[in-house]
Chain A
Amino acid sequence: MLTDTYWEPESDKYKGVWTMRNEDFFVMRWAQPDFIHQFIHYNCQKYVGGCILGSETYIPACDYITKEEHRTWDYAFQRQELFYKVWGNLLYNSNTPDSYFARALADKFNLTDGTQLLDAWKLASMNANRFASFFRGTWDATIYTEGFTTDGGKFINLNNFMVQPVLDSSYINVSDFVAGNYNADTQTTLLQLAEITEKESRKTLGLIR
Chain B
Amino acid sequence: MVTRTFNEYENLTGIDFTLGERMGGMTSEERRDWADRTLIAGLKAANRKARLLYRAPLSADKTSHRTTSVSTEKIAREAIETMGLDDPVWIEFNSIGRMPIHRPNFP
Q: A residues engaging B (CB < 8 A)? A: 1-3, 5-6, 11-21, 23, 35, 38-39, 41-43, 49, 52, 126, 129-130, 133, 136-140, 142, 167-168, 170, 188, 192-193, 196
Contact = CB atoms under 8 A, between A and B. Distances in A.
21 contacts: A2-B93, A2-B101, A5-B70, A5-B77, A6-B91, A11-B80, A13-B80, A14-B89, A15-B90, A18-B95, A19-B94, A19-B95, A23-B96, A43-B101, A49-B88, A49-B90, A126-B106, A133-B103, A133-B106, A138-B66, A192-B107
Contact of B53 (A3, A17, A196): A17
Given A13-B81, A17-B53, A140-B97, A168 B92 contact: no
A139 B80 contact: no
A16 B103 contact: no
Interface string B71-107: 0011011001100000011111111111111111111
B91 A5 contact: no
Contacts, number: 105
B90 A137 contact: no
B102 A142 contact: no
A188 B100 contact: no
Contact of A14 (B68, B90, B98): B90
Contact of B103 (A14, A139, A167): A167
